[in-house]
Structure 1
Amino acid sequence: MDVPLGGRRFTWVNNAATKMMRIDRVLVSMNVMSIFGDTKLIALPRGASDHLPLLFHNEVVDFGPTPFKLFHSWVNYPDFHQIITEDINNPHYLSLGSFHDKLRYLKVILKNANLVTDEELIEKQVISVELDKILKIEDADTLQKARIK
């Protein structure tokens, strides 16, 4: 298996730096990749050679689960501010100690809040079908124009 290259897209540069190619590769067996799954190559800055040195790198970085995800579109829903304001003033929310716990609490509240009505979901599906039809027509026109040229 060819190990993915990170840092740069090339491993060789001519002296004038006008041509760049990825000619250096590292192949490892599938057993090594199953043990070290997050392994990658990092192309380091070029020294005296025209080849970039490669660093075989394996680092597992896990920051844990995301405590809170907020989509910008949620803020536009009419009930969003009311839901947040009510829950921030809730005694249970105020009793939570850490900021992380408070964000987790709000995450559960927002997941359970029905911000989108059934009518809006149906309208979205209808509009999506209409948009798909329009895009297919435009694709057919573009294909015909490309054949003519």
Structure 2
Amino acid sequence: MNIKFVPLFIGLISAISSCQQKPSNPPIIGTWELISATTTEKDTTFSTFNPSVRMIKMINPTHFAFMSHNRQTGSDSAAAFTAGGGKYTLADSVYTEHLEYYIDPAWENNKFEFVVKIAGDTLIQKGIEKVDKLGIDRVITETYVRVKD
């Protein structure tokens, strides 16, 4: 090969390599802030969203975590803080949380299955929240908006 074509050849190889698509993360990966929540128990649906509570959910490729904090509780901020997390799976639109950590241990080691829909920067998840130990069996719908940097 002629020496003057080496830089051109290297440039061509670099250009072709940069065109290869790298696998991208699913759109659910990110940080989400709760903007709406409803619960349905038996035949009654009601809002569970409290605008004075800020809740975020963070989802990475293998785990999720959520935290909420009521900013209007006065001096006892620990009493107004909730957090939990664990592993999850995502198959098509079925998002399943395996809750490993939670402020209330009665919720731990439960599985919660949701159908998720992502439209632009909005994530909606709907599914059954069932904790036999606590007698909880209800449908929840939560709407999140993606937190921007």
Tell whether the structures are fold-level matches, with TM greater than 0.5: no
Structure with more of its chain in strand, by fraction: 2
| TM-score band, normalised by shorter chain | under 0.3
TM-score under structure 2 length normalisation: 0.20
